[in-house]
Chain A
Amino acid sequence: DSGVTQTPKHLITATGQRVTLRCSPRSGDLSVYWYQQSLDQGLQFLIHYYNGEERAKGNILERFSAQQFPDLHSELNLSSLELGDSALYFCASSVEATATAEAFFGQGTRLTVV
């Protein structure tokens, strides 16, 4: 158990819908990272938050948004969903803000868009 909790574990939704994925970092970790892993696009870094502020942005679509709340949990919002958004969405947390710091990964949320 990494200490990082992602909910829900599985999500099936229709095209055009909006979903929210939640990540609770390990206790004491200030950084949260979001990643998307799919067969079509491989592994992509989406966004990084540190202590409530956006630190780095990757290949995150405009239809997607994220935030980190004062209690440090983070949510990834995906809207106007398309079939190609079907993927495993991972979050990770670390104590530090740097990408070279050890990060702990959640089990992921598997999103299926039908």
Chain B
Amino acid sequence: GEDVEQSLFLSVREGDSSVINCTYTDSSSTYLYWYKQEPGAGLQLLTYIFSNMDMKQDQRLTVLLNKKDKHLSLRIADTQTGDSAIYFCAESGDNYGQNFVFGPGTRLSVLP
């Protein structure tokens, strides 16, 4: 079945850039997403990218997609302590959530 992989932990210094990586196996994935989960809270959709795009930028967030290698990354510029959270990569086969699969999540720790 479909699989999404992420490294489990990342630590960065406040003000540095964070790069969270994700690989997926389903070549039919149409949408790829990044979600943020703060302690004790539900998910927040940060951004998404359609599979025919290579890059998407939204303020401090930059998403890069390498469809050939099935690799997705999320770069957070000028990382702040408020960015400390778990970041989930996810994929789906359509925009309604069909075959929606999450990665294990990357715990980002921002050190002052």
Residues of A participating in the B interface, judged by any CB pair closer than 8 Å: 2, 33, 35, 42-45, 48, 50, 55-58, 90, 92, 97-100, 102-103, 105-108
* CA distance in complex: A44, B95 (Å): 17
Given known contacts A42-B104, A43-B88, A43-B102, A102 and B45 CB-to-CB distance under 8 angstroms: yes
Check if B102 sits within 8 Å of A45, measured CB to CB: yes
Check if A100 sits within 8 Å of B102, measured CB to CB: no
Q: How many residues of B contact A (CB 8 A)?
A: 23
Q: Looking at A42, A48, A99, A106, which has the most chain B CB atoms within 10 Å of its CB?
A: A99
Check if B43 sits within 8 Å of A35, measured CB to CB: yes
* CA distance in complex: A55, B24 (Å): 23
Note all chain A residues with C-beta closer than 8 A to B103.
Answer: 42
Q: Which of A44, A48, A108 interacts with B96 by CB under 8 Å?
A: A48
